[in-house]
Structures are given as C-alpha cells and as structure tokens.
Amino acid sequence: MSDELAYLGRRVVAGKMSRRDFLGRAAALGVAAPFANMILANTAGAQTPKKGGALKMGLVGGESTNSLDPALWLTQVPQNFGSTWGELLVVQSPEDGSPQPVLAESWEASDDAAEWHFKIRKGITFHNGKDLTPDDVVQTITRHADEATKSAALGVLGDIDTVTADGDYVVFKLKRGNADLPLLLTDYHLVIQPNGGRDKPDEGIGTGPYKVEVNEPGVRHMSVKYDGYWRDDVGHVDSVEVIVMNDNTARMSALQSGQVHIINRVEPKTVSLLERVQGVVIEAVPSKGHYVFIMHCNTAPFDNADLRMALKYAVDRQQMIDQILLGHASLGNDFPINQSYALFPEGIEQRAYDPEKAAFHYKKSGHSGPILLRTSEVAFPGAVDAAQLFQQQAQAAGIQIDVQREPGDGYWTEVWNKQPFCASYWGGRPTQDSMYSTAYITDADWNDTRFFNEGFDKIILEARAELDDAKRAELYREAATMVRDDGGLILPMFNDFLDAHREEVKGWVKDPNHETSNLRAAIRVWLDQA
Amino acid sequence: MGSSRILILIAQRIAMGVLLLFAVSALIFAGTQILPGDVAQSILGQAATPQALANLREELGLNDPAIVRYFRWLGGVLTGDLGTALSNGRDIASSLEDRLGNTLFLAAIAAIVSVPLAILLGLLAVRYRNGAIDKIISGLALASTSLPEFFIGYVLMLFFAVKLQWFPSVSTVYDTMSFVEKLRAVALPATALTFVVLAHMMRMTRAAILNVMQSAYIETAELKGLSPFQIIRRHAFPNAVAPIVNVVMLNLAYLVVGVVVIEVIFVYPGLGQYLVDHVTKRDVPVVQAVGLIFAAVYIGLNMIADIVAILANPRLRNPR
C-alpha cells in the first residue's frame, strides 16, 4: 500500500497528477487525509541537500538536571541533542512505521521469533576513535536491561533473556517470541555507546554525525560535525546548537527574530498567529500521542461497565478537538492506537457524542451523585479546560462531573496512577504491542486504567509472536475492540506534533513517531541560505 | 570611646547575621524534608519502574535518619563541599559558580542603572514636589511597578527584539563572549528589572527625604538662604540615608533571588531557573545549597544596610 502511495506521491510532485486526485486515491486505499498529506509532503521534500551552516534550535523540555546518560533521558532537549551525537541500531520509517537499519545492517528472526540475529555494521568509529564492535552493542543492551539500572528503557527490554556477540552478529534470545524486536530497539534511550556506557555513561561519546562540544544542562548544548561519520544522507549542517527555551513566548520571539531556526511545541492557540509571520513554516504532524481521561476499572464507581460506557458516550470529541486544540488533533476512539501504527485495525466504528445513549447507560449503572474528575495543567496542554468542557458535555446526559484542579507539581506521583479518575496523556510507542504491554495487559508496568482481562492478555501475547501480518492484524482488531468497549480509557483525541521552523530550513521529514521529526530534525534538515 | 562602641555594635550585628544563617540552614533542611513526593520518583518521572525506584533510593542514601543527613550536610557546607546533584551527578559547587556569576552579573548591571537613577529621580521629585515633574516621575514609576515583570519583558521583547531587532530576545551568555557582547545580551532583561525595582526605591527616597524636610533644622537652612538643592544635598539627604540604604538593599536582594520569571522569559542561565529545575526534581542537595545562598544574600545585604545605618547615625557616632 505504501509503495503505491509513494508512487502516486511522486506523480503529484512531477505534475502528472493533481493533489486532489491523490487524496482521493489515498482515501480509496484506506488512508485518511492527514496521513496522505504527510506522505505527499515527504515526497515533495526530496530535494538535494545543501551542506554547511550553523543550525540553532530553541526547545522546551530541558532542565539543569539533565544528563548525557541516555538511560536518564525523559525530555525533549536531551532527546533531540542525543540524536545528533548518538545512534540506535534501528530507526522507525516515517512513512510506514517499519524498522530501518542504522547501526544494525540487517537482521533475521527464527520461525518462532524468539531468536534474532542482528548484523552490526562494520567500519564505524566512535568519536573517541574506537571502532564500533558487536560487543559495544551487547554491553549497551545489557546495561539498559539490567534490573539494577535506572534506565527508562528497562520495561521495553523485559522480554530479553540473553544478548551475546557472535562474530559480526549480535544474537538476542528472548523469553518468548516477539516479532517486533527490531522496533523495540528504536527506543531513543538505546544509543550505542563504547562498552555500553558502563565506564562513563554520561561522557557523550557516540557514533552520530556530530560530536558533543558544549554541554551546559538547562542552558544549551552544542555539537559539531564529526569528520569520520559513515553516511552522507543525514548530518548536513556544520554544527547544531540546542538552546533550552521553556517559555512559549521566548521560543516564538526567538523564531520570529531569526535567532533560532527550529522550535518545538508551538501552542495550538498561537499557530494561526505564527502562520502569518513571514519566513516561518509550521509543521503539523499527526502523532501517536494522545490525551486521555482514565478510569480505574477496579474502583467504584468505575468498576461498573455501564458507567464507563456512559462516560465514553458523554464526550463530544470533535468539540474538544476544535476548542481545546483548535483543530490540531485527530479523533480518538477509546483505544490507544491510530493510523500512525502498522497494522492499524481499520473499520472499527467511530464512537460519537450521544447524550441519549450516555443517559441510558448511566441509568443502567444505577450510579447517582457527582463523579470526581481530577485534572491539572500538566496532564496535557489545555487539560483543565478540557475537563471543564467534558463536565458541560456530560451534563447534557444528566451526568454530574465535579472537576478538581490539582497542583502540577507532584501530579504524576500523587494523582496519576493513584486516583481512580483523572486527566493524563500518553506519548506513542513504536508498535501496538509495546503500547498495549506498557499500559493495558494485566501485569503492565503502568496499567493506569487497572484493565485486568485474561482474554486480552492472551491475544496480545499471541500477536507478539505471530509473524504473519494478516493474522496479527486480526488479533489487534480484537484487542482494540476489547479496550474500546470494556476498558477504562476515554480517548477523545490524538494530538498533532506542532513544530515550526524558518523557511530557510529545508528537508523537514514529517514523522509521526516522535516530535521534531522523530527527534531527528537536527540531522535531517539543511539550511538553504542565500 | 565612640568608635569602640560602634565597633561593638557592628560586631554584634555581624554575630546576629551568622547566627541567623545557621537558624535558616536548619529551617531549609527541615523544609526540604517535608516537600511532598520522593526524590527517586521525581528523577525517574512517569516512566519509572518500582525496581528502578528502589535501586535509586538505596544509591542516594535516602534511608538514613534526617538528623544524620543534616549534620553531614552542614559539615560539608562549612568545608566548601556542597555535594553532587542527585539528578545528574554533577558537582554542585562548580555548577553554582557559573550560575551565581551570571545572576550577580545581571543584578549588578540592573543595579548600576537603577540605583543612581532611582535616587536621582527621588531627589528631583522632592525638589519639584507636588509639581508636574514630581507627578510625572511618580506616575511613570508606579505604572512600571504595577505591571507584572513578564509583561514588561514581553513588551520589550516585541519592540526591541522582534520588530526593531536591536537586541537579542535570547539572553544566553557564554564564557566565550566578550564583555560588550554580554552587555548587549542582557540589555533587555536588565531594562525589565530596572523598571521593576525603580519605583520602590524612588518612592522611598522621596518619602524619606520629605520626612526630613519637615524638621526644624531644614527651616533654619532655608532661612539662612541655601538653595533648595543645597538643602537637600547637605542637610536632608545625609539624614535620610538609613531608610534609603535599607530599601536599596532590599531591592538588590530581590535582583539576586527573585528574578526567575525574567530568567525564563529571556532564557538567561541564572540561579533562579537552576533552583526551580532542581525543586521539581526534588534534588534536595541543590535546593539546600541555593536556598542557603539566597538566605546569605538576604541576610548579608540587610546587615550592610544596618551597619550603614549605624555609621550614618550621628547619635551613635558621637555619644553624649
């Protein structure tokens, strides 16, 4: 399907097909307009890169507490800066979500997907001059998979039994089959470091196109081109500077006055204003991230399936998108997967706002009295307004929601995953399997809806080891339906990534996997200076 | 005789300050203990697994009793060792050095502009009191104080950075910058801070001098034919120095400890943002160190104000 779309995209760029026809064909292939537009934009962006120039990025999400140790990365500044100096084994394709080789040249799996052989690319050097060896890969993976580690990637690597070097290969033996292993290795924490970073995890030595020059956490980071870099399709500018700008207005003015080339997290409210500024381009990309209201399925009154269903019908999703995110989002359907994922289950009916059905289920649940919804401005941008809007929408169905605003400081430790009903957000995961196993199977690390369903767990495990895509897709459809109809997840919207850059920045790849072009804007773009 | 009494007074005042600082250190330590949440959870964030949390808690020594940790910390501070930041393992003293330098630089620039300006405007307002000049000066100063500092910052940014492009909106300063480049970088935040502190100092100068102007000896000075400015300069101002120095010191302290909003808006790497980052991560050693520095600045500047007041008081200088 994606081959055909890519072909059609090239025809549009060549002027042999109109944009309108392209979107029509894409719809016929079952691809929604925002995604089709994205494919088109990426095809059109394929021009010849120019080399040179000093790229400056002003990003939110940097603190004086940041470290260069990839295991500790949580926010955008270390993540983005990390992709300038570090590399992964595999990255996810912006077009179809498939695994693409980076430091791993190729890979193959055993029939039960329980044993994997990754061939490690040869002739690559770290910035300290040392050659990359399969042993460095083994050490990196085992460091992150170690129970004693502080790595945020620990959960992703739970299935791994042993990792060993074998000639040019690294062999993964898993506790059970996992057809998605290459995609799990796209986790941004898994930067390959010399000896796995065991000697000095925060020294900032990697194989990336740029080497670390300045590291002032919470202020700025800078990296300059590494002469011995192994490929020339990324890393076009001479140097990359990431400046921490946590204030929205500071980022906007820095971009407008041309002091930075790229900013992230444009506020939905200000997009239309920024669009009118000359020399500025907005990059809105549909993402896997979603804004949610979560109910604990095992806590009264949310242990009642009818009450959960009532609340799901009581949300007007379109109104929420229009008023909270000013249209920069796509509809959610109460399961955490959208079209950005491979094997997206097409054709599940979109749940719509229906106060009558909500009132029917509410009555059937037998519940009475107000329902307490906790929210905070840190839950997601606009979460306080969204909760109040939800309150009004539910009123039409005769459901009374009390909104309680919680302090942002401590929200993730005191409210989220503790209180039975609150606002929250999820970033995307590389695969459906990793999304479900992170938060929806019974023993998930963060089962924040307390969704305990043995049948569901079995489906996820079965799908994990299934190498036949058609069978897998069918299993995922079943899983999605179960979460949608029985789970504690109210998912009104998938947010767009909203980034902006100066128009001299060319080659921006629209990538649904992570913001700022899957954290790789710095190495993908080039500067077209007059 | 008189000078030894002054020395005793000053020594007493300094001893008070040191004692106060110790008391504050105990308070800061106690305060950081009752912060809600847990250091380990804050460091690892939403994505922490229970196992990783337990490992980190063990490693950070969070399981020792509080009193042990207090004296361990106090001993370190007295020997110049502030420890390492929990969150990223960097040495606190060396990270603080840069940040404190930046904060003091910005505060100094703002003070060099605002203090003389405020006193001059205050003197002018007294000289032409209740006239048009007085009203214009007081009105403008009050207006600039009433506006929140982020608003002043954004307005300055809009006109001088985005529209006119005279100064950068991003004030990040680097070690490699020359002094002039640094001055240009901090022009906008220093201007914003000047607006914020100007009115308070100006109004107090005006009020203190006007107060003295009611005294009988000012009338005598008028009667012996001195010009209004000479009266203010030779008779009123020296007698109003103590309250003026007091308010100047308070504002200087504010310039050092209270500028986190301006730092964030102008992306200035000062101490305020450094503190806020570490508070949200529950990075207790850093919060304690910065808290202690802020307390020392406040206590130190107030001590200077008191000492100036002692020295400026003729009754203390020449006891009967």
Q: What is the pLDDT of residues B178-204, one digit of tens each?
A: 888 899 999 999 999 998 898 889 988
B41 found inside a domain: no
Q: Which amino acid is at A123?
A: G
Nearest Cα of chain A lies from the Cα of B120 at a distance, in angstroms, of 33
Contacts of A167 (CB under 8 A, 6+ apart): A134
Q: Distance (Å, rounded) from C-alpha A161 to C-alpha A145?
A: 10
Checking if the pLDDT of B129 tops 90, the result is no
Mean pLDDT computed over A369-395: 93
The phi, psi pair for A85, rounded to 5°, reads -110, -15
> Is residue B6 situated within a structural domain?
yes
Residue B151 has pLDDT above 60, yes or no: yes
**Which of A60, A257, A380 would you mutate first to test chain B, the one with the most B CBs within 10 A?**
A257
Q: Which of A114-123, A130-139, A264-273 has the lowest mean pLDDT?
A: A264-273
pLDDT at residue A1, rounded to an integer: 42
**Shortest Cα–Cα distance, B45 to chain A (Å):** 7
For residue B18, tell me if it sits in a domain: yes
- CATH number at B212 reads 1.10.3720.10
- CB-CB: which of A67, A254, A409 is closest to B169? A254
pLDDT over 60 (residue A13) = no
Chain B contact set for A217 (CB, 8 A): 88, 90
Residue of B203 and B61 predicted with greater confidence:
B203
Q: Please, which residues have CB within 8 angstroms of residue A169's CB and are 6 or more apart in sequence?
A: A117, A118, A119, A120, A134
A and B: number of Cβ contacts within 8 A: 118
Residue B221 lies in a domain: yes
Compute the average pLDDT of residues B93-99: 86
Measured in whole angstroms, the distance separating CA A16 from the mean position of its chain's CA atoms is 34
Q: What angle do CA B187, B178, A62 make, to 5 degrees?
A: 65
Mean pLDDT score of chain A: 89
Q: What is d(CA A462, CA A471) in angstroms, rounded to the nearest whole number? A: 10
**Domain span at residue B133?**
2-36+82-317
Q: What is the mean pLDDT of chain B?
A: 84
Does residue B89 belong to any structural domain of this protein?
yes
Look at residue B1 and tell me whether its pLDDT is greater than 60.
no
Residue B59 in domain: no
- ipTM for the whole complex: 0.76
Q: Does residue B42 fall inside a structural domain?
A: no
**Contact check, Cβ <8 Å, A63/B277:** yes
Across A81-107, average pLDDT = 94
* Residues of A with Cβ-Cβ distance to B278 under 8 angstroms: 64-65
DSSP, residue by residue, A175-217:
SS--TTHHHHTT-TT----GGGG-S-TTS---SSSEEEEEEET
Q: Which residues of A touch B280 (CB under 8 A)?
A: 63, 409
Q: Which of A17-31, A98-112, B149-163, B211-225 has the lowest mean pLDDT?
A: A17-31
Q: How far apart are CA A128 and CA B231, in angstroms?
A: 72
Q: State the pLDDT at residue A462.
A: 93
Which residues in chain B touch residue A155, judged by CB atoms under 8 angstroms apart?
Answer: 47, 49
- Tell me the whole-structure pTM to 2 decimals: 0.81
Q: Any chain B CB within 8 A of the CB of A279? A: no
- B90 compared with A385, residue with greater pLDDT: A385
Q: Work out the average pLDDT over A256-280.
A: 90
3-state percent helix, strand, coil for chain A, nearest multiple of 5: 35, 20, 45
- Is it the case that residue A5 has pLDDT exceeding 70? no
Residue B198 lies in a domain: yes
Q: How many domains does chain B have?
A: 1
Confidence of residue A7 (pLDDT cuts 50, 70, 90): low
Q: How far apart are the C-alpha atoms of A340 and A35, rounded to whole Å? A: 8
Chain B residues with beta carbon closer than 8 angstroms to that of A446: 46-47
